[in-house]
Structure 1
């Protein structure tokens, strides 16, 4: 069985489409649990008497450990395959999600927030798995859609977790107990999904890694060094920091931003903040689709040009959002910014699968870690030294400058010909419904 040359959303029979659907759903669940506490931070802040600096530290902690986790998880994907790696991450990652309810001090809360960040490495497995399952003509769209629908969890959690919290309060539990029970629910969903991933997916169209002794995974022994020697990987590391890193930051601060700057209550602020993440239902996919279209028309260089345009638009939109004083205009510009930031992410991973096929997991992991590194650096702007609207304006200026780094990502004529040949071969072969 070969890589799929198209996406058939309602087909669950083939290994390609089972991997597609399980990959986005698993990432959705991880994202939901990863940022499940963010819309409840107003309650947590009051209960634990957190200072602005301490709130900022928890924001940084939630994404800091993911930098290392993503680099490690890419190496594990190369060695053990996405099926076993994803199942293990979900099961182990569910533990701190549930255990954060035991926190009764700032220090304990910070520690659990740090541990929860490990599940953010799930993104790497999602992109790795779909890259193994889909052909070059459609891989950008497949990667963008699975990641985008997964990122949707960051928007859904902004709406759902306050409702879960309110449900427990309605049952008679105190607010202090209710936010803890809400996180317990999120952790149980992670645990269940991990078990399902193990039994419902396989690593490649041909089978699982452990059943394919001649599979190229054997190169994995030096895959990280191979990936790290490619300067393009580090350029994309920075570019991904400027898009996904900013999305993570907004997921962490949006509810508090609208609550503090527009005097909205917890539920309303969470609903408005959710709009940012909910754009993932189509925006990241759109970035991948356009990347594939540019690739068909102008080759790998076309994919890079689209990446530049998307990140440039993101920076300009964030500058505009930071200046809004009226709620209606703030929401409208938030949606515009969300469109560009998520298209930028899709555009990035429409380029990634073509950098180094022999070290795909490590390449994916390093670049994915860039997103979290960007979130860590951006988090320092939200510790109280600057008003948050000024911090957002500064971030927008930085993103505009970073966009021009895209032109440093270059491919050889041999790379271009190899992709064209592979695409032609797969399209000419017996079509696979997947």
Structure 2
């Protein structure tokens, strides 16, 4: 029996394209960006979709909820598949199969077809898990938090870049003589084709581990630590720390998704901004992923060097508590200037919390990184679902009451009362969510590591066993 030592990268050298970890970092980040771009690609076109398909307000809300719900199941499944088959094949199939509902969205004719497509498009949100899994395999413990956070943050940019990119694609389509009213259909088809093409690129230009692909390693009698029989999935489910991180990620990434999806209307209703200005502000919020999530991973790694694995948890709890406080204070403000200060602070801290979460995940169990990443990643979408349901229920009740109370005052008065009621309800919902985030921050402090786990914290030196025949 001979042991080989894995050569994970110990620094994030973004311009060293000869390095396999660096190439993997770039390709997986671009793939993740592509998935998010397609996942939320329909958002800029929702007014056109509502008009074209005749969507009711309830159907519009349901499409938002379904878009994040489908991802829950996909993330739970994809992590285990990564452990078994490797990230290369999993990402390839996810991109190619995920392109199908994206393309089909361009052909829908009824609200039901639209809702079904949005549900299945949500599956490509599982790309996050594969990205985190692949960077965890390629980078050593001293830099893994930063690498994970940067790849995830730059991938998340796709959710904001579509606000600029999709209208540009639509404008290009219109220049070829296509009617502007249906340009959104062609734009979604193009986004789907891009996803499909990225799947082919991933297959031919990436590798599962620094030593080779899972399939080849098995043939050669070499197996990485991530073996199916070493950590049964049930054992992963029994680890309370996994579920604490599930809740933590629900309270950061889940809330980011929901706030991102509702902030346009809130800024218009609360502060009287026009749609264009509100949209640009939300776009700026999303673009902070360029650096904010990386900061979370960086400080997670830094606290890890200073205080060990416990230090990573302490930083996570601290940044989450600030996140919850910023959202709660923002919900109480009526001044646009003051509100923007706290919204920026919330944006910075929520994305840092996401990066900090995945600076902890790789250390929970180095033999089940995929499964744990899948469960924790699914937590983000569960959080988005629950937060969206809370805001939907509060807003619906408040708006209905406002309409009933002003039914005799004319359409303009009803509209004004409805707008005020919606803003007040969402504001109340944001405040409640802020309190939930602070509670999750306190819960994160219950994550403990055994002394042996602290000593084994160097997941960077993964050992491979070679049987000599």
Measured against the shorter chain, the TM-score band is over 0.9
* TM superposition score normalised by structure 2: 0.86
Task: Indicate yes or no: 2:154 matched with 1:145.
Answer: no
Task: Indicate yes or no: 2:431 matched with 1:393.
Answer: yes
Residue 370 of structure 1: aligned partner: 379
Residue 18 of structure 2: aligned partner: 13
**Larger-Rg structure:** 2
CA RMSD, Structure 1 to Structure 2 (Å): 2.0
**Distance in 2 of aligned mates of 1:324 and 1:209:** 53
Tell me if the contact between 2:227 and 2:367 (Cα under 8 Å) persists in the aligned partners: no
CA deviations 1:52-86 (Å, max 9, x no partner) are 32222111100111111001000110111001110
Tell me if the contact between 2:88 and 2:202 (Cα under 8 Å) persists in the aligned partners: yes
1:346 to 352, 355, 374: 355
Residue 233 of structure 2: aligned partner: 224
**Distance in 2 of aligned mates of 1:417 and 1:244:** 30
**Distance in 2 of aligned mates of 1:186 and 1:385:** 34
1:264 shift after superposition: 4.7
Tell me if the contact between 2:39 and 2:121 (Cα under 8 Å) persists in the aligned partners: yes
Tell me if the contact between 2:103 and 2:192 (Cα under 8 Å) persists in the aligned partners: yes
Tell me if the contact between 1:56 and 1:380 (Cα under 8 Å) persists in the aligned partners: no
Equivalences for 1:310-325 in 2 at 5 Å? 310-325=319-334
Tell me if the contact between 2:149 and 2:355 (Cα under 8 Å) persists in the aligned partners: yes
1:176 shift after superposition: 3.3
Equivalences for 1:50-89 in 2 at 5 Å? 50-89=55-94
**Distance in 2 of aligned mates of 1:114 and 1:254:** 22
**Distance in 2 of aligned mates of 1:3 and 1:417:** 18
CA deviations 1:77-112 (Å, max 9, x no partner) are 011100111011011101111111122222111111
Tell me if the contact between 1:78 and 1:220 (Cα under 8 Å) persists in the aligned partners: no
Specify whether residues 80 and 174 from structure 1 end up closer, same or farther in structure 2 by C-alpha distance, changes over 3 A only.
same
Task: Indicate yes or no: 2:215 matched with 1:177.
Answer: no
Q: Secondary structure at the match of 2:280?
A: helix
Task: Indicate yes or no: 2:424 matched with 1:415.
Answer: no
1:280 to 289, 294, 301: 289
Specify whether residues 265 and 46 from structure 1 end up closer, same or farther in structure 2 by C-alpha distance, changes over 3 A only.
farther
2:262 to 240, 253, 263: 253
What stretches of structure 2 of length at least 5 have no aligned partner? Answer: 1-5, 396-424, 463-469
Equivalences for 1:91-130 in 2 at 5 Å? 91-130=96-135
**Distance in 2 of aligned mates of 1:270 and 1:171:** 27
Residue 421 of structure 2: aligned partner: none
CA deviations 1:229-281 (Å, max 9, x no partner) are 11100110000000010111123223333344455555443322111110000
**Distance in 1 of aligned mates of 2:265 and 2:111:** 18
**Distance in 1 of aligned mates of 2:426 and 2:58:** 13
Tell me if the contact between 1:42 and 1:266 (Cα under 8 Å) persists in the aligned partners: no
Residue 204 of structure 1: aligned partner: 209
Specify whether residues 263 and 161 from structure 1 end up closer, same or farther in structure 2 by C-alpha distance, changes over 3 A only.
farther
1:165 shift after superposition: 3.2
Specify whether residues 343 and 224 from structure 1 end up closer, same or farther in structure 2 by C-alpha distance, changes over 3 A only.
same
**Distance in 1 of aligned mates of 2:98 and 2:254:** 21
1:116 shift after superposition: 0.3
Residue 50 of structure 2: aligned partner: 45
**Distance in 2 of aligned mates of 1:267 and 1:331:** 16
Tell me if the contact between 2:231 and 2:367 (Cα under 8 Å) persists in the aligned partners: no
Residue 432 of structure 1: aligned partner: none
Tell me if the contact between 2:247 and 2:379 (Cα under 8 Å) persists in the aligned partners: yes
2:444 to 403, 406, 409: 406
Task: Indicate yes or no: 2:29 matched with 1:29.
Answer: no
Specify whether residues 338 and 402 from structure 1 end up closer, same or farther in structure 2 by C-alpha distance, changes over 3 A only.
same
